[in-house]
Amino acid sequence: MTEDTKALKIEAARAALANVEPGMKLGLGTGSTSEEFVRLLATRVAEGLEIVGVPTSIRTETLCRELGVPLTTLDETPELDLTVDGADEIGPGLALVKGGGGALLREKIVAAASRRMIVIADESKLVEALGRFPLPIEVNAFGLRATMLAIEAAGRRFGLTGEIRLRMADGKPFVTDGGHHIVDASFGRIPATRAFADELNAIPGVVEHGLFIGLASLAILAGRDGIRTIDA
């Protein structure tokens, strides 16, 4: 990541922080942009801001603990005021592709439990159609090959072809915080429709996919010309 991109991520995170009010229950996203948000939030917490956060990954949880951000769980606090998270792609209607960091399952559960979700990103994440970034799909390890074939077939039913790849890390299948694997589907242009989302969710081995439809309420995008916001 260039220094410029990092600076833009920090600007987007800073703008999102203006939406945080005392007493809020927050969902805390995963990834480099969310990390900048957590760092800025921690500074405000150190100054006396009272909030509580639900992290969307072990990585975010660890960072929050290091920085002294108070945490809770969704079991203790099942309804949240606001989630702030990054995205791999932001498309029309604020449909998102998420999961580049492998945290999509917890990210989606937390976003769905929140009254509002603000997506923060540098402007390169804004796209006219989703799909340049391969769609991450979290799958159960059991029957992996059959599940991958079923994902391929689901894509074909929507006119989509492309490589379906098991995500690897250090020569082994990547393992999510939930103990599952990730399949990255390079379908090309993804239809951001509930029909396609439902088709993927109907495959028994699919735990969840990274297509987020109707969850984000606001996008905060930082670019060279400043901050731009897009409402859902």
Nearer to ligand 5RP, 86 or 91 (CB): 86
Select from 82-90, 173-181, 201-209, 224-232 the region that touches ligand 5RP (CB under 6 A).
82-90
Per-residue buried b or exposed e for 46-82, using 16+ beta carbons within 10 Å of the residue's own CB: eeebebbbbbbbebbbebbeeeebebeebeebeebbb
Annotate each residue in 34-73 with x if it binds ligand 5RP (CB under 6 A) or - if it does not, as one string. x---------------------------------------
134 near ligand 5RP, judged by CB under 6 A: no
Question: Which among 11, 35, 61, 107 is annotated as catalytic?
Answer: 107
DSSP 8-state class, residue 124: G
Q: Which residue(s) pair with 165 in the sheet?
A: 184
Options 30-38, 65-73, 165-173, 214-222: segment touching ligand 5RP (CB under 6 A):
30-38
Find the shortest distance in angstroms from Cβ 227 to ligand 5RP.
16
108 binds ligand 5RP (CB under 6 A): no
Nearer to ligand 5RP, 34 or 147 (CB): 34
The answer to whether the Cα torsion of 124, 163, 183, 94 is positive or negative is: positive
Task: Mark whether 107 is an active-site residue.
Answer: yes
Gap between the Cα atoms of 22 and 24, Å rounded: 6
DSSP class of residue 158?
Answer: T
Q: How far is the CB of 47 from ligand 5RP (least distance, A)?
A: 25
| Spatial CA neighbour of 2 closest among 32, 42, 29 | 32
- Tell me 71's DSSP state: B
Contact 86, 185 (CB under 8 A): no
The partner residues of 114 in beta bridges, in order of sequence, read: 80
Q: Give me the numbers of helices (H) and strands (E) for the chain, helices first please.
A: 6, 15
Query: Which residue, 46 or 168, has its beta carbon nearer to ligand 5RP?
Result: 168
- Binding ligand 5RP by CB under 6 A: which of 11, 85, 184, 208? 85
User: Which CB atom, from 101 or from 131, has the smaller least distance to ligand 5RP?
Assistant: 101
Q: Is 30 in the site for ligand 5RP (CB under 6 A)?
A: yes
Residue 72 C-beta: closest distance to ligand 5RP, Å: 21
Q: Taking CB under 6 A as the criterion, which residues in 86-105 touch ligand 5RP? A: 86-88, 98-104
Q: Which is nearer to ligand 5RP, 22 or 179 (CB)?
A: 179
| Range list of H helices, the chain | 3-17, 32-46, 58-67, 104-112, 144-157, 194-201
Residues that bind ligand 5RP (CB under 6 A): 29-34, 85-88, 98-104, 107
**Residues with active-site annotation:** 107
